[in-house]
Structures are given as structure tokens and as C-alpha cells.
A and B are shown apart, each in its own frame.
Chain A
Amino acid sequence: KITAAVEALHNDSDNIAFLENILDDLVKNGASGEAYQEALHLSASFLNRSPLDQFSILPLIPMKIGNLYFSFTNPSLFMLFTLSLVLLFVHFVTKKGGGNSVPNAWQSSVELIYDFVPNLVNEQIGGLSRNVKQKFFPCISVTFTFLLFRNLQGMIPYSFTVTSHFIITLGLSFSLFIGITIVGFQKNGFHFLSFSLPAGVPLPLAPFLVLLELIPHCFRALSLGIRLFANMMAGHSSVKILSGSAWTMLCMNDLFYFIGDPGPLFIVLALTGLELGVAISQAHVFTISICIYLNDATNLHQNA
């Protein structure tokens, strides 16, 4: 890395005296010399050579059992951070045994977030008695809150976005989808398979249609994870790329580039706003899709 940094810095330089000076310094003082220290410092700023480096998973506390790695990585750290943030937020808002009847601003916002999910659940999963509906509420509520705060936490500069990794979002969506399928089988027995055949279909068409319905049904698990992952990753990489170009324009000692720098700067500002909106809406879309799939699984094709 240091070689790369030094090459990038000195390769185009024609100043022989300068290069000779650096060579002398290195030969004389080695690692403690000024030239080396400067090169080290410069390489630190070149550390993120690629805009995708922000997504690298670093094992902070490596733990290994045989061939399996259970290391505590930086996604784990940031997930813990989000969890503690949410819990602290809720705790401080409901201090003194449950907050006030007439809420203040913070408590109001927590209540709004909490209120949001039962509306979703009640709307989407129609046709069930009240008890059964409330069974699904904790899982969906936790999914929504956690996802919302994870997306928002990724917006903080210098931090790591947990949901921008496919393995994490796929794990979440896949496990939730398996849960939904199990619920569907539990409620409807083998009749659940009739979900693949909508009403009023002529019999010769049936096998073809079953296959055609089964494939999208299985793909739903994947699409849920991909949607979240793609949105988060695309947003963060584009912000990184554009800010990289803005930074380069700033660094080049050229007047024209300096004047033209506010262009990418403004775009990065707008993109940050878009990112925030996408973070919140993606959490919402994930949760509402889960509610819809649950509705499909438990009510098959009937309406409420």
C-alpha cells in the first residue's frame, strides 16, 4: 500500500533534486526518517482506494472452531450499537414508570413508530380473529424497528451499513419467509398448496399454472432480501463515488476544478437526502411485504 501511495505521488515528478533528497533521507534514517513518516501518513489517506472498500467486513475479534468462523465482526459491532441505541431511546422516553399520558416530543415520536405497525398488521392480515392477528405483531414490530434504525445508523458518516450486505438481508428475508410458509401450512394444512391455483382456472391449464405460480412464490424470499440490499448498497456506493470525485477535484491545485467543485458537492448533498428517504421507505416496504405475504399464506386467495 505504501509503495502504491508513493508511486502515485512521486511517479510524475520531474524534480530530480527532490527525489534525490528523499532517497538520501531514506537511506540515512530508514524507518524513522521524515520521508518514511510522510509516506505513511499519505498512504493512510489513500487507504480507501476503491469505493467498495467501505463494505469490507473486518473480523474484530476472531473466533474459530474447526472450519467455522464465529468471529465478532464489524457488522456485529454495529448491530449491537443499533440495538443499544433503540433500547436506550425507548428506555429514556418511558422513564418514571411509563412516561406521561400527555406525551412530550420524544415520547410522541416513539409512540408514532410503535403505532405504525399495528395499523399495517390490521390492514393487511384481514379475516382473522383479533387473537390470531396479535400473534404476528411482535415479530413484525421488531423487524420494522430494527430495520429502520439499522438503515438510519448506516447514514452516519464513517459508520458501517449493516443492511448493505446481501448475506444479512438474505438471512433475514429467507428465515422470515420460511416462517411464513410454516404458518401457512399450520393454518391450512395441505390445502395451503391450493394457493398456487387461483379460482376459476380450466383444468388442462392447471399443471402449467401451478408451476408458474410456484416459481414467483419461491422467488419472493430472494426478492425481499435483494430489494433491501440493492437499495442500500447502491445508495452508499454512489455517495462514496461522487464524494470521491468531489474530493479529487478539491485536491488538484487547479483553479477551474476548484470553482467547479460545488457541482458534485451539491449532488452529494441531494443524494444524502435521498438516502435518508430511501432508508426509511425501504424499512416500510420490507415490513409491508411481509404483511402481504402473511396475508396470502393465511388467507390463501380469499379476501377479508
Chain B
Amino acid sequence: MRLSSTNMQARKMLFAAILSICALSSKKILIYNEEMIVAACFIGFIIFSRKSLGNLFEMTLNERIQAIQEESQQFLNPNEVVPPESNEQQRLLRISLRICGTVVELLPMARCAPKCEKTVQALLCRNLNVKSATLPNATSSRRIRLQDDLVTGFHFSVSERFGPGSTLKVSIVELIREGLGVFKMVRVGGSLKNKEDE
């Protein structure tokens, strides 16, 4: 059905073109010289390129439109109601993992026996589990940002002080103390804010 309708359209256009050429040339508007060949080639090129490249062009534009649509959908979501608890859990878990990760990264720089490393890791993981069991409800974005800033700050300050380039002799205890301190800050901040909200 579609093919025949396109054919009908093409035939109609061809008929209209022939008729218009006859009319214009009889009225002596269309002068028969080489410019007519240029015009015919131009129209022929447009038809030809439409047939061969028309789909490509349409697809590119449609892709762009779809990408913009999806982007706008994504942006709409965070402005909606409170994010569900599972998201919040994941976020806090991620923060804790980052803190642990920072500490564990810098452990080899600290002077300590290999056994120490495993003990510290076990300690941190236990703390992590305890934490995830008692997760507070997060609602405000300001607090979220504060938590993130705390963790980033901890990461940078610890890397500076205990990192490979440092000349201070580090103590493993100090490192762990810092990590736990940040844990407490993040958790206390959460519970404080919760009390405020209530």
C-alpha cells in the first residue's frame, strides 16, 4: 500500500512538473537555454540525495531528539519526592566504603606488620556492618553534600599526611583514629539532622 501511494505521489509530481514546464515556456517565462540544464540537474540531485541520504539524515535527527528526551526525563526525577530508602542506604554504604578504601590504601605506607593490615581491615568492615544496620533516614540534600565534603576532605588530608611523599613517620593508630572520627561525624551529623527534622 505504502509503495503504491509513494508511486502515486511521484507520478503526480512528475505530471505537475511537465505541465508547469509547458505552461511557463508557452508564456515565455522559461527561456530555453543552458540554465535549464543546470536547473534540471539541481532538482535531479536533490531527488537523488533524498532517496539515498534522506533516511540517514532523519535517523540522525531522531536520535538527537530521543537523546534530549531521555535527558529531560532523567532531570525530572530528582526533583520529585523523597528518594527511597534503598537509594539512601546505597549512598551511605558508598561513603563508608570510600572511607575504608582511603584508610586501606594508605595502610602499606604506615609502618606496620602485614598481620596488622588484616586486623585493621576486619575492624573497619565490622564497623561498616554495624553502621549499615543502623542507617538513619536522609532527606535533605545539604546534609548529603556535607557528608560528601567531609569524606573528600578526609581523603585529601590523609593522603597528604600519610601519603607516599610524606616524611612523617606514621602511626597506624592515628590513621585508624582519623577514619573512625569521620565515621562518627557522618553518623552523628545524620542523627542530629534527623532530630532537627522531627
Contact (A45, B61) CB under 8 Å given A272-B41, A272-B45: no
Name A247's contact: one of B37, B48, B64 (CB within 8 Å): B37
A108 at the interface (CB under 8 A from B): yes
Count of A residues near B, CB < 8 Å? 32
Please report the C-alpha to C-alpha distance between residue A155 and residue B41 in the assembled complex, in whole angstroms: 11
Residues of A within 8 A of B38 (CB): 157, 239-240, 243, 268, 272
Contact between chains at A269 and B61 (CB < 8 Å): no
Contact between chains at A247 and B42 (CB < 8 Å): no
A208 at the interface (CB under 8 A from B): no
A101 at the interface (CB under 8 A from B): yes
Contact between chains at A108 and B34 (CB < 8 Å): no
Residues of B within 8 A of A304 (CB): none
Name B35's contact: one of A48, A103, A109, A248 (CB within 8 Å): A48
Contact between chains at B32 and A108 (CB < 8 Å): no
B177 at the interface (CB under 8 A from A): no
State which of B65-73, B141-149, B164-172, B183-191 sits at the interface with chain A.
B65-73
B23 at the interface (CB under 8 A from A): no
Contact between chains at B33 and A48 (CB < 8 Å): yes
A158 at the interface (CB under 8 A from B): yes
What distance in Å separates the Cβ of A240 from its nearest Cβ neighbour in chain B? 7
Identity of the chain B residue whose Cβ is nearest the Cβ of A251 in the assembled complex: B32
Contact mask for chain B residues 28-49; partner A; CB cutoff 8 A; 1 contact, 0 none: 1001111111110110110011
A246 at the interface (CB under 8 A from B): yes
Contact between chains at A247 and B34 (CB < 8 Å): yes
Name B33's contact: one of A103, A109, A247 (CB within 8 Å): A247
B58 at the interface (CB under 8 A from A): yes
Name A246's contact: one of B31, B37, B44, B68 (CB within 8 Å): B37
Contact mask for chain A residues 223-262; partner B; CB cutoff 8 A; 1 contact, 0 none: 0000000000000000110011011101000000000000
Please report the C-alpha to C-alpha distance between residue A246 and residue B28 in the assembled complex, in whole angstroms: 22
A44 at the interface (CB under 8 A from B): yes
Identity of the chain A residue whose Cβ is nearest the Cβ of B58 in the assembled complex: A105
Chain A stretch 101-137: residues in CB contact (< 8 A) with chain B: 101-105, 108-109, 112
Contact between chains at B31 and A272 (CB < 8 Å): no
Contact between chains at B41 and A268 (CB < 8 Å): yes
Please report the C-alpha to C-alpha distance between residue A246 and residue B32 in the assembled complex, in whole angstroms: 13
Name B28's contact: one of A41, A243, A265, A268 (CB within 8 Å): A41
Please report the C-alpha to C-alpha distance between residue A155 and residue B43 in the assembled complex, in whole angstroms: 11
Chain B stretch 39-86: residues in CB contact (< 8 A) with chain A: 39, 41-42, 44-45, 48-49, 58, 61, 64-65, 68-69, 72
Offer 22 A-B interface pairs, CB within 8 angstroms, sorted by A. Answer: A45-B32, A45-B33, A48-B34, A48-B35, A102-B65, A103-B65, A112-B64, A157-B38, A158-B35, A239-B38, A240-B34, A240-B38, A243-B37, A244-B34, A246-B34, A247-B37, A248-B34, A265-B41, A269-B48, A272-B42, A272-B45, A273-B45
Nearest first, the 10 A-B pairs at minimum CB distance are A157-B39, A247-B34, A243-B37, A244-B34, A243-B34, A268-B41, A272-B45, A269-B41, A243-B38, A45-B33
